[in-house]
Amino acid sequence: MDAVRNGIIDVIATDHAPHTLEEKAKPYPDHPAGLPLVQHSLLALLDFYHKAELSLEVIVEKTSHALANIYGIKDRGFIREDYWADLVLVDVEKTTKVNTGNILYDCGWSPFEGHEFNSLIDKTFVNGELVYSDGQLVTDPSGLKIEFV
């Protein structure tokens, strides 16, 4: 975490790769690389916040602001007037236990199954539209083409 806190690592992201367990069970080199991680990546980072290893400000900087700045992503990555509202509301006082009933990946599994995170994703907004609330998808997120400056 020192490299993150000291600015050596510019961004934190995931290579979300939702392969099935059957695909992952193939012998090397026939199995695909990567893991299904995007649903739980923020929760994993927030566990470092609870251990006082990362601040909330560093998590936001490395997962949102820095990506928008480095790649020149227009109108995203910050909470600003006239920017698209891509937001995740978290409750750092509640926990999330990962189980098959709350895994949203099409592949149906997570390497975090059985793990209890120290935070909870309450709501998610994409382009200002509520798409996730109280553990359920509310609607399919409607994507927009990302524009670059």
DSSP string, 50-107: HTTSS-HHHHHIIIIIHHHHHHTBTT-SS--TTS---EEEEETTS-EE--TTT---TT
Distance (Å, rounded) from C-alpha 9 to C-alpha 63?
Answer: 11
Catalytic, out of 15, 30, 82, 134: 15
Residue 15 is among the residues annotated as catalytic for this protein: yes
> Which residue numbers are catalytic?
15
